[in-house]
Structures are given as structure tokens and as C-alpha cells.
A and B are shown apart, each in its own frame.
Chain A
Amino acid sequence: MKPILRSARRLFGAALLSVAASGAAYGATQGTLGSTSTGTLDITLTIPNLVQITNINDIALGTWGGGAMSGSDNVCVFSTTRAYRITASGNGTGGAFTLASGANTIPYTVEWDDVSGATTGTLLTSGTALTGQTTSAITTNCGGGTNATVIVRVSSTALSGAPVGAYTGTLTLVVTPE
């Protein structure tokens, strides 16, 4: 009986070696025969730099009645880095921040704050990124909420010099992870 057992154990050793040699991917470890058996595997995952801006609404300034005009919109910015830069551009010539009514235009300014509900922000230059903005959003749509503010202002000077008309423009906001 004993020789048989020794022989069997040798065979088993060879069998286990065979399993190990035929082996699994690098990193994983295989269990061995016993009253319990333990193996391990590595799990790897990459979260890339991703960003998204949502909850954007149009800004309607209404009808001018004298003085300056302004409007704002609270938006959501999500970033897997929790940091981002914002670049704005208008649809005027060369990306200028202008509203148009036919050939007539009215310039406006744009401010940004990485807090929702802000009444003032950092003045943006068309096509130039404002860096160092942060977000704590952990859902892409901020759970339906907002965490940043874009503010549009039209000066009384610009308005008083503009011919009568209905003016519109498009403001494009581009967020980039940092």
C-alpha cells in the first residue's frame, strides 16, 4: 500500500506541476490541493480623464429698457479629475462674443465661476482657457443640480449704440479635464 501511495503522490505532484505550467495569466495564482484551496487574481481598471458639461439653458436678456443688461445660467460640470478648464467662444467673427441682428452686432462679456448661483465671476476671453476650475460632482449630471455659473453682460454703451432689432448669438462652452 505504501509504495502505491508514494507513487500516487509523485503522480499528483507531476499533475500539479502540469497545471501550473499550462498556467493562467501573469499575476493570477493557482490553488493547491488541500482541505481548503486558495487562488488569487488581479483586477485592473483605468478611469480616463473625462469631463462633461450639462444642464445648460439659454439666456434670454429680454427687451432693453435702458442701462446695462445681464443674464446667467447655472450649469453642471463633471470631471473625473475633479479639475477642469473652461474655454468660451461666441459666434461672432473669430469667435467674438457678439449678438447679431442681420449685419448689426452688439458685443457682450462672459464671466465664469465654478460655483453655482454666483453673481460675478472671472472674465473670459474668447478662445482662451480659464484654468484651475474644480468640481466635486460624482455623477455626470450633478444629480440634476448645478455647480458652476456662466454670466453674460451687455454694457449700456453697447446697447445704446445698437440699432433697433432682435439680437441673438450662440455662446459655446468647452470644458477640458485638468
Chain B
Amino acid sequence: MPRGTAGGDAHDPSAARSEACAAKAGGSRRVWAAALAIVAGAALVPSGRAQAQALVIVNRIDDLPFGTWSGSGQMQQTMRHCVGSTSLGNRFNVRATGSGSGGAFTVASGANLVAYTVEYRSPTSGAFQPLTPGVPRGGFVGTTTINCSFGLSEPAELRVIFSVADLTAARAGTYSGVLTLTVAPE
């Protein structure tokens, strides 16, 4: 079998761990891990020379309903989700884009806007890291599985924060927005 270069390999340690996890999990879990490893391996086939194409998936995403501001203090919520990556070390970067002008992190109520900030972390990346709209930020580590089903449940965390200043300055209304997360292997 061809050996992959940095960026992903069906035989990289992540795939090996995936299979190991599958063996422990047994049953249908074994099927999941096998599927991930084999599809990643399929990406190696077309090239005469080994060129691994790492694969990623982001899922288990939930909406963030903040409810009604009390009139004091900031508001923040954390959304745990899953990022699976076949890249070396399961590393990935994340790019967040809001639905505001130019991808700004804003929610809207008609013409009125409220800005928010976005932070991101994975267990091994330490503290939450601020994200800039449309700018990938790397250094995060995902799982070897596509649904975080092997004991590493929902390891990635997204945090959205509305500052008290922005909330106070906001006009009354019901605001909504869409936040898009795109992950890519590193």
C-alpha cells in the first residue's frame, strides 16, 4: 500500500486508533470505524504516487437559542459537537462565518443588528480561541470517528458570546442569525 504524506493517510495513527476503538466497541461501532478507514484509503488509490486526501466531518451541531436578555450581564452559550478527521493526528482547522454583512458575526431583527463573538476549542487545544469571521483557525484535534461514538463524545466546543455592551445597545426585538462552520484537515 502507498504511504501517505503529511495531511492524511489511511494508515496513519488516527486510522489505526479508529480500528482499535472499533474493536473495543464491537458490533455496529466496528462497522463505522471500518467504513471511515476504507473510504479514506480509497482516496489514495487514484494517484500513482501516494497522495493521501484527508477527510473531515462536522456534525452533532445544535442551534443556540439564547432566549430573552434579562437586562443585565452578558449572554453566552457553548455548543458541543463532533469533528472527525482522518488527517495526521486528527488535526483540523475551523472557519466560522456569520450571516451578517461580509460574514460578520451578527444576528438581525429587521435592520437592527447585535454583534457576537465566537470562540472555539477542542480538548487538546486548551482554552477557547477567538475566531475571526471567514478566517480559518487551526490547531484543533478531532476524533477518528464520524460521530464521536467511541467514548470521545462531542469533543469540540463552540462558544458564542453577546457582550453586555452590545446587548444594552441593541434595540428591542427578536434577533436571529446563521453561523456556518467549515472544518478542514490540517
Contact = CB atoms under 8 A, between A and B. Distances in A.
Nearest to B109: A47
Given A34-B56, A36-B56, A45 B169 contact: no
B186 to A, nearest CB: 12
Interface residues of B, number: 59
B58 interface: yes
- Main secondary structure on B side of the interface with A: strand
Interface stretch (A4-12, A119-127, A164-172): A4-12
A140 to B, nearest CB: 6
Interface of A: 4-5, 8-9, 11-12, 15-16, 18-19, 24-50, 52, 78, 80-82, 138-140, 177
B58 A39 contact: yes
Given A31-B59, A35-B53, A40-B180, A46 B35 contact: no
Contacts of A45: 66-67, 69, 75, 107, 114, 162, 174-176
A171 B176 CA distance: 41
Contacts, number: 181
Interface of B: 31-32, 34-36, 38-39, 42, 53-69, 71, 75, 79, 81, 83-84, 107, 109, 114, 116, 146-147, 160, 162, 165, 167-185
Nearest to B112: A47
A26 to B, nearest CB: 7
Nearest to A177: B172
A49 B71 CA distance: 9
25 contacts: A8-B38, A12-B35, A15-B31, A19-B60, A31-B182, A32-B57, A34-B57, A35-B184, A35-B185, A36-B182, A37-B57, A38-B180, A40-B61, A41-B64, A42-B179, A43-B160, A44-B107, A45-B66, A45-B162, A46-B174, A47-B109, A48-B69, A48-B71, A138-B169, A139-B169
